[in-house]
Amino acid sequence: MRAIATYEAMAERAAHAGLLDVEVRALLGLAWPLARISAPQCLDVVERALRLSAGHNDPLLRARTRMRGLFLRVWAGGVECARCGRMREGAGGDPPGQ
């Protein structure tokens, strides 16, 4: 699939150039087409993006990556009850009033 090759190249070039935010966005972009052909590969890429973003100093990038990553986990891999609590914690807790 052309999109996969393009996102892989983008992530590799960004990593080589030290552009962490671009690399993370490329990995999350890569996760979408991977989810359609291989859930395990998609989940691996999402985990990589989450690990990388955790080291970034921009809290908005970390939060945005975390939310997109958690969504992709559910979309590609389904929800396991054991993960629900971790996802809620990662999103900042329960919504107000709950």
pLDDT band at 33 (very low <50, low <70, confident <90, very high): very high
**Residue % of the chain over a pLDDT of 70:** 79
- Count the neighbouring beta carbons within 10 Å of the beta carbon of residue 22: 15
In a domain, 98, yes or no: no
| Count of positions (residues) in the chain | 98
Buried b (16+ CB within 10 A) or exposed e, 70-93: bebbeebeeeeeeeeeebeebeee
**Residue % of the chain over a pLDDT of 90:** 51
In a domain, 66, yes or no: yes
- Judged against a pLDDT cut of 50, whether residue 65 lies above it is answered with yes
In a domain, 96, yes or no: no
In a domain, 25, yes or no: yes
In a domain, 63, yes or no: yes
pLDDT band at 73 (very low <50, low <70, confident <90, very high): confident
In a domain, 97, yes or no: no
In a domain, 85, yes or no: yes
User: Domain range spanning residue 14?
Assistant: 2-90
In a domain, 74, yes or no: yes
